[in-house]
């Protein structure tokens, strides 16, 4: 008899997808955010990838935990923080982070003002974000090329260490302008190799801006 028997434990990807309730978040993303087609597609791809990865693990297939650190690039006001919030929900529902929470930090929160001040400050923020998502806005300010004694470098090193050693506990998103982020990654190759997903937020077109304006007007009456 040929082996055509459907095994009881066969994978049902569709069912797993419905169980994870990720679809709600993705739909909300589509509904609430105007434009950003590229970003939305990319997020769907990431969600699908993570879902398959999780199923693989459930089946006992050897799989390293995928690197989830991301970089969001785009002008101000293109929805990076909003998408990061949704990303926290998606990762939480798929079980990649334990808590559905997002901590937003900038250079001020991470870098100290005198010798020995930076490490505790950075660690404080990292500890606060653990279990969830850390969103570093305008990350390129961490590294100042013109000043080699700048404390930002120390902050980056601590960040790298945690990003590498505690992947289960923390997912980091670095955000900022596209060209400046490219320069930032260029001068910090260690950081570049630890960021798996690069999402580029395109500027809104005139038509999209009109739609946003209309939505805002409707809300404000």
* Interaction site with another protein (CB under 8 A): 98-99, 101, 126-132, 166, 168-170
- Alpha-carbon torsion, ordered 9, 13, 19, 25, to 10 deg: 170
* Cα–chain center distance at 116: 29
Minimum Å gap between C-beta 98 and another protein is: 6
Minimum Å gap between C-beta 3 and another protein is: 41
Residue (132 or 152) nearer to another protein, CB: 132
Measure the CA–CA gap between 110 and 126, rounded to whole angstroms.
9
Residue (128 or 194) nearer to another protein, CB: 128
Residue (24 or 168) nearer to another protein, CB: 168
Residue (43 or 130) nearer to another protein, CB: 130
**Burial label, 171 (beta-carbon count in 10 A; 0-12, 13-18, 19+):** buried
User: Residue 113 carries which DSSP code?
Assistant: S
DSSP string, 29-94: HHHHS-S-HHHHHHHHHHHHHHHHHHHHHHTT---PPPP--EEEEE-TTSSHHHHHHHHHHHHHHT
Paired tokens of 54: 């999780």
Residue (24 or 124) nearer to another protein, CB: 124
Measure the CA–CA gap between 151 and 176, rounded to whole angstroms.
20
Measure the CA–CA gap between 169 and 145, rounded to whole angstroms.
30
Minimum Å gap between C-beta 101 and another protein is: 6
Residue (172 or 199) nearer to another protein, CB: 172
Minimum Å gap between C-beta 131 and another protein is: 2
Give the strand order in the sheet containing 171-176: 102-105, 133-136, 171-176, 70-74, 197-201
């Amino acid at each position: 008899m040929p082996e055509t028997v459907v095994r009881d434990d066969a994978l049902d990807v569709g069912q797993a997808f419905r169980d994870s309730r990720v679809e709600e978040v993705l739909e909300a993303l589509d509904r609430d955010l105007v434009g950003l087609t590229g970003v939305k597609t990319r997020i769907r791809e990431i969600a699908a990838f993570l879902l398959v990865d999780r199923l693989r693990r459930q089946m006992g297939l050897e799989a390293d935990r995928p690197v989830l650190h991301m970089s969001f690039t785009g002008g101000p006001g293109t929805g990076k923080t909003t998408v990061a919030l949704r990303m926290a929900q998606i990762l939480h529902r798929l079980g990649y982070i334990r808590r559905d929470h997002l901590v937003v930090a900038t250079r001020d929160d991470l870098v100290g003002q005198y010798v020995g001040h930076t490490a505790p400050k950075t660690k404080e923020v990292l500890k606060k974000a653990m279990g969830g998502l850390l969103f570093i806005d305008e990350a390129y300010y961490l590294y100042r090329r013109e000043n080699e004694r700048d404390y930002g470098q120390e902050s980056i090193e601590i960040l790298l260490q945690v990003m590498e050693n505690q992947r289960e506990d923390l997912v980091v998103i670095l955000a900022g302008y596209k060209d400046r982020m490219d320069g930032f990654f260029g001068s910090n190759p260690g950081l570049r190799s630890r960021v798996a997903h690069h999402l580029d937020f395109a500027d809104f077109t005139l038509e999209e801006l009109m739609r946003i304006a209309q939505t805002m007007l409707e809300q404000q009456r």
